[in-house]
Amino acid sequence: MSVEGGEQERHRLIQAALAERPFATVKDLLDVIDASPATIRRDIAKLHQAGVIRKVFGGIALPEGTPAQRRHAKPFEENRVLNVDAKTAIARVAETLCRDGDSLIVNGGTTCFIFAQLLARRSLKIYTNSMPVAASLWESGVCHVTLSGGELHREPGIVFSPGVAEPDVFASKFFLGAQGIGPSGLMESHPLLVRVTERLAQRADEIIVLADSSKFDIRARYPVLPIARISTVITDARLTEAQADMLRDEGVEVIVAPDRATE
């Protein structure tokens, strides 16, 4: 096989790997491509430059906005580097809704992770099913933390087992994200996240969704909660009027986080 032909075959295999999953590491690619890590990284750089794939922290992913990319839920480590400015602005607004002494439920997800970091030094009680959230609060926080029991599901970073009873916890506010938001409500691609969210939604006075505007373009597989169950959605300034009206028509309060670049 010629050098050029070998490169074309490697590129084909890299793209084929992303047809089966939304994210792949160099180690994953070494399992299917007979080449050195350095060669694979050069291939990744070329495909990224051509817009065929996207380099992200820890590996590669599908390009943003492609139909295939929209169908998949991203692993926590990949998702945490996307739309960081919008997520941070949303998290800052969410923090202002919390009063010292509150009992909160903070679900998994990267926006909730940023939000939890802002709460770390507050006088709050936080229940979470997110290993990254719990680890961050343990390392740098003083707030009271209760972690869900069960098995660790590494890709979403969630701790959950169907046979493990949830602690007897009740919260004034339940903060969560979603893979997608549409007329059918909150949506996820993993059935596990549906079960987790349904159980926790019964244990809070208010349900507050932290979701950047890109989530309104995603149609995931499983409906989680109907729009009418949501109290508030905090999002960014790229939300369209039609999307905002969809929420408001169901009685949802819409809070748009300020764009720090235009403040």
Please give the pLDDT value at position 69.
Answer: 46
Q: Kind of pairing, strands 151-153 and 144-147?
A: unpaired
**Residue ranges of the domains in the chain?**
3-70, 84-256
Spatial contact of 153 and 180, defined as CB atoms under 8 Å apart = no
> Looking at the domain that runs over 84-256, which CATH code has it been given?
3.40.50.1360
Top CATH class, 3-70: mainly alpha
Cα 182 to Cα 218: distance, rounded to the nearest angstrom = 8
Q: Helical H runs in 32-130?
A: 37-49, 67-71, 76-79, 84-95, 110-119
Cα 40 to Cα 230: distance, rounded to the nearest angstrom = 45
pTM metric for this prediction: 0.70
Please give the pLDDT value at position 65.
Answer: 52
Please give the pLDDT value at position 159.
Answer: 86
Please give the pLDDT value at position 246.
Answer: 95
Angstrom distances, CA of residue 240 to CA of 149, 195, 208, 212, 254: 39, 30, 19, 12, 12
Please give the pLDDT value at position 103.
Answer: 97
Cα 4 to Cα 31: distance, rounded to the nearest angstrom = 21
Low-confidence ranges of the chain (pLDDT < 50): 1-5, 69-73, 76, 81, 261-263
Residue 255 host element (H or E): strand 253-256
Instruction: Give me the count of residues in the chain.
Output: 263
Please give the pLDDT value at position 262.
Answer: 45
Residue range 83-105, pLDDT digits in tens:
688 899 999 999 999 999 999 99
Please give the pLDDT value at position 162.
Answer: 72
Please give the pLDDT value at position 28.
Answer: 81
Give a three-class secondary structure readout of 151-188. Answer: EEECCCCEEECCCCCCCCCCEEEEEECCCEEECCEEEE
